[in-house]
Amino acid sequence: MKVIVLGAGVVGVTAAWYLAKAGHDVTVVDRQPAAALETSFANAGQISPGFSSPWAEPALPLKVLRWMASRHAPIVIRPRIDFAMMRWIEQLLANCNAHDYDINKSRMLRIAEYSRDCLDALRRDTGITYDDEQRGLIQLFRTQKQVDHAARDMSLLDQAGIAHEFLSPDEIARHEPGLMENRHLFKGGLRLPGDESGDCHMFTQRLAQKAEEELGVTFHYETTVEALDASATDIFGVRTSAGRMTADAYVVSMGSYSPLLLRPLGLHLPVYPTKGYSLTLPVTDAARAPVSTVNDATYKVSITRLGDRIRIGGTAELAGYNLRLRRDRRELLELSFSELFGASGDMSQGAYWTGLRPSTPDGTPVIGPAGRFSNLWLNTGHGTLGWTMACGSGRVLADRMSGKRTEIPCLDLSLDRYTTA
């Protein structure tokens, strides 16, 4: 088939790669001048299948109420008249129970684990590098309550067959020597040895180049997607700033902007932007800097080593499509990093960035056909885990579009889980 992929972030580019590998004629359209210049540009850098958990957990409503009075809350809701946000929050709260949490986490673990396997295979096949490390991830718990909550997650990891171990503060410091001086701050940690790290922007741009040079994928950059032309059951074109384009099939991978494109077609995609922030610092003291990747469970901040840089990422802010860089969010990132790793990075040289994560209320991405339209496909809604789930999502999508049997169950990842609920 001739396939047009709308969006050149990590999710769109990996989908284009696997579709082209399956023999399709693929074109990618994006409004930016190159690949991975929006949400994929400066994310936390973690490929963390074992850390795949929905925000919608049973304790979330009380936590949010408690955080409302805190300047350094990991989740912030900016008051606004926004019916899409209100509907999304309502759906999020409906998932804040133990039953749905277990279902949603198991779905997320399935696609995330598969995605890491796909990335491993892609790395072997292509030799691609991206400041990548395969050293695992450690989630740090500062309170006993966090340790107790982790026991439930560990039981789900057991069921999914995902390697993990609980570590004491001294054991954590053996894996991350930079935490030795501050190990009194935490009660323990969960280590996930199968998790990885790497620069998502670097990976996506290099994969896009390989897709173009080796597989013949065509990229139309600086081209804004304006609308989809449709009949009652089919898409017959996409209007862009460079003119109308046609194909046999269309894939929407436009992140947080996907629901805006689909709404005129009568498709209600439950994706809303959760704004995240990051700081990227040069390493100044390698002995005290992180070796791999660490998550601070208290502030929900991720700290990752990327070559000679440190990436600090986190927070979730509901503020629509606002891309303002807020000072209080930077303070939170700086606070978590400084408490754990001191002055191992030069904060004065930190590159501050924000991006909009396309989040679903249940945490699971939307991968599959789009409602009544026979040739329209969705690959979006990955939230904070787009980098983690990109390769697996692209492979699942390519297999389904090619009429092949997928290697993992995936029907419950499609839009139907909302329309049939």
Binding-site residues for FAD sit at: 3-17
* Binding-site positions: 3-17
Q: Which amino acid would we find at residue 170? A: D
Neighbours of 63 (CB within 10 A): 13
CA 29/CA 31 separation, integer angstroms: 7
CA 9/CA 109 separation, integer angstroms: 22
Q: Decide the pairing of beta strands 235-240 and 225-230.
A: antiparallel
> Token pair of 349, please?
């040289």
Element (H, E) at 403: none
Q: Decide the pairing of beta strands 25-29 and 2-6.
A: parallel
Total residues found in the chain within this entry: 421
* Burial grade of 283 (CB within 10 A; 0-12, 13-18, 19 or more): middle
Q: Do residues 367 and 396 lie in contact, with contact meaning Cβ atoms separated by under 8 Å? A: yes
Q: Do residues 360 and 104 lie in contact, with contact meaning Cβ atoms separated by under 8 Å? A: no
Identify the residue whose tokens are 């606002």.
322
Task: Report the DSSP beta bridge partners of residue 379.
Answer: 367
> Token pair of 145, please?
């309550």
Q: Which amino acid would we find at residue 177? A: P
- Packing angle between helix 98-126 and helix 200-215, nearest 10 degrees? 50
Is residue 377 classed as helix, strand or coil in its secondary structure? strand
